[in-house]
Amino acid sequence: MIHLAVGALGGIISFFLGKGVIQMNGANLQGENRYFSIGSGVVGALVFTCLSRAYGGGELLSLICLSILLIASALTDIQGKLIPNAVIIVGIILGFVALGINPSLKPVEGLLGLLVLGSCFIALALITQEGLGMGDAKLIACMGLFIGLWEGLAAVLFATAFSGILGLGLIVIKGEGKKTTIPFAPFLLAGTMVVLLMK
């Protein structure tokens, strides 16, 4: 029963996040935008349900905070190909709170994830001149704060593989150019979920 309640909570939060992102971009809730909100809710419900089946207590609360951050980032990235700094700042605040309530992650592991992943991927974003978006790099740093260096790195590797498969598919099937940009935050959400559910 608790899993259904947590899943319903995730669906509600994600639905309103989707709705808020649409309205933030000045669009109305008609047609495809309405399905965007509904789809957001479905994804949130699935994510929260899966996490509640695998985790409990403070660890679950910590990962729910991470999920909200990743879902919000994915939605803004899909709609505007941008992850606002406000989302990152909230994510960092939630990450430090999570360090205090997650008994399975030592604070030093979270800080190491934040600093190492953050510095490496921000440098990569600067070197590639936004081949990797700066918002994505900051989001990866936040992920490290929540789940540590090695799990954060594994999530990025999965995300890269998933986005590469989609990109290759777009080139082969639709003839998209190599410079076509694909929002990366949804893949970071997917990669993180794979890592968390494999534990």
Alpha helices in 55-106 (DSSP H): 57-80, 85-101
What six digits make up the tokens of 108? 């030093």
Q: What is the C-alpha end-to-end distance of the chain, expressed in Å? A: 23
pLDDT at 53: 92
Asked whether 95 and 146 are in contact (CB, 8 A), the reply is yes
pLDDT > 70: percent of the chain: 92
Asked whether 147 and 66 are in contact (CB, 8 A), the reply is yes
pLDDT at 129: 76
Read off the pTM: 0.92
Delimit the domains of the chain by residue range.
1-54, 58-69+82-198
What is the three-class DSSP state of 191? helix
Alpha carbons 66 and 72: distance in angstroms, whole number: 10
Is pLDDT of 67 > 60?
A: yes
Alpha carbons 113 and 82: distance in angstroms, whole number: 23
In this structure, of 91-105, 146-160, 175-189, the range with the lowest mean pLDDT score is: 175-189
Alpha helices in the chain (DSSP H): 2-24, 32-54, 57-80, 85-101, 107-127, 134-147, 149-169, 185-198
Q: How sure is the predictor about 179, in pLDDT bands with cuts at 50, 70 and 90? A: low
pLDDT at 130: 63
Q: How sure is the predictor about 35, in pLDDT bands with cuts at 50, 70 and 90? A: confident
Is pLDDT of 176 > 80?
A: no
Is pLDDT of 30 > 70?
A: no
Most confident of the ranges 18-27, 30-39, 152-161? 152-161
Alpha carbons 61 and 67: distance in angstroms, whole number: 10
